[in-house]
């Protein structure tokens, strides 16, 4: 394959002139531009875009780190990121990690080696101490509350939103409230746990550890939750479920087990996924596509560290 020097020799111009033509520089005579373009066509010259990006110090690639590509929550975040990337002529590199630290480290190393311009973490397993080591190599944006940290973020205050959900259930008569989370660990899970414990103290209710359910990710997980509730002598009267997919699975299992919803068990979801509308789930709408769009904007317009909070909205239907 021909290189720039060979193109210059064929066109009988300098390497600088060839470079100017390739980069659409205005100060090239018509004759020289025609000669260079003819030589490019004759040799079927293709630019080495890695070299071009290296010379410019940017790749127009943004890395997006997600634990699961097939989960609706992350699908909507990714939709917002992708739409905004198209608007701004950026491309995405997707890292599915399954919350494995080594895979997240691979993404961070790509940022270090200038293979991507920025990284967006939709959810993470790596500690802040590790992320801090890589912030000097490019923007790292998180989809969680990083106020007080030196990393920008777009986030929902999960302590605040979980407290809102608990208080809503309490105002309509529920005291024995359980919850279902995707992860036992993680900053969002810790915020929800704290909101839950603070709420119980406020209403003077005892803490019941078996009212908590973890690793709730899919529609099918509802079956195990209902099995556990049926085995309890004193089950909760309401569940907060942080995934509408899981909430829908619980609702189906309730019907199969003759558990009346919301009379015997109220179900309050999060996200407002399409399935929640179909199944008439009461839920909190999370502006996930807007969050994704904002994450991308923060990644491509790095400035002083900033934290942008978005808010949930209660959607009342038939399960509470």
The tens digit of pLDDT for each residue in 268-302 reads 999 999 999 999 999 999 999 999 999 999 999 87
Q: Which two tokens stand for residue 144?
A: 């969680």
Instruction: State pLDDT tens for residues 101-124.
Output: 999 999 999 999 889 999 999 999
What gap in Å lies between CA 99 and CA 102, rounded to an integer? 9
Q: Which of 272, 285, 302, 270 is nearest to 120 (CA)?
A: 302
Closest of 248, 207, 209, 210 to residue 229, by C-alpha: 210
pLDDT value of position 52: 52
Return the pLDDT at 23: 79
Distance CA 143, CA 295 (A): 7
The pLDDT, as a whole number, for residue 49 is 53
The mean pLDDT values, 10 residues at a time, for the chain of 320 residues are 84 89 85 91 74 61 94 93 96 96 96 93 95 94 94 96 98 97 90 97 96 94 94 96 96 95 97 94 97 97 89 97
The dihedral through the CA atoms of 186, 71, 143, 131 has a sign that is positive
Backbone phi, psi, residue 219, to 5° = -50, -40
Q: Can you give the pLDDT at residue 4? A: 84
pLDDT value of position 225: 96
CB 100 within 8 A of CB 121: no
Token readout for 2 is: 């021909």
pTM of the predicted model, to two decimals? 0.80
């Amino acid at each position: 394959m021909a290189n720039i020097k060979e193109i210059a020799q064929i066109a009988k111009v300098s390497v600088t002139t060839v470079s100017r033509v390739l980069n659409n520089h205005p100060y090239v005579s018509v004759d020289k531009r025609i000669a260079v373009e003819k030589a490019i066509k004759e040799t079927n010259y293709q630019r080495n875009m890695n070299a071009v990006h290296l010379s410019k110090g940017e790749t127009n690639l943004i890395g997006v780190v997600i634990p699961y590509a097939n989960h609706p929550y992350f699908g909507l975040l990714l939709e917002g990121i992708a739409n905004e990337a198209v608007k701004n002529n950026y491309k995405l590199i997707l890292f599915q990690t399954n919350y494995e630290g080594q895979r997240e480290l691979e993404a961070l190393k790509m940022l270090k080696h200038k293979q991507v311009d920025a990284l967006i973490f939709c959810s993470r397993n790596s500690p802040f101490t590790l992320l801090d080591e890589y912030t000097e190599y490019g923007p790292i944006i998180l989809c969680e509350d990083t106020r007080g940290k030196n990393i920008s973020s777009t986030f929902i205050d999960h302590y605040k939103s979980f407290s809102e959900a608990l208080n809503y259930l309490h105002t309509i008569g529920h005291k024995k409230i359980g919850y279902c989370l995707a992860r036992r660990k993680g900053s969002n899970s810790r915020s929800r746990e704290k909101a839950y414990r603070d709420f119980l103290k406020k209403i003077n209710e005892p803490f019941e550890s078996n009212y908590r359910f973890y690793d709730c990710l899919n529609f099918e997980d509802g079956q195990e939750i209902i099995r556990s509730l049926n085995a309890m002598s004193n089950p909760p009267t309401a569940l907060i479920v942080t995934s509408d997919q899981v909430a829908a699975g619980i609702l189906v299992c309730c019907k199969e087990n003759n558990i009346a919803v919301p009379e015997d068990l109220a179900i309050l979801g999060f996200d407002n996924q399409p399935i929640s509308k179909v199944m008439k789930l009461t839920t909190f709408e999370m502006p996930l596509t807007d969050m994704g769009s904002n994450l991308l904007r923060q990644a491509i317009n790095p400035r002083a560290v900033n934290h942008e909070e978005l808010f949930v909205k209660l959607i009342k239907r038939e399960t509470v």
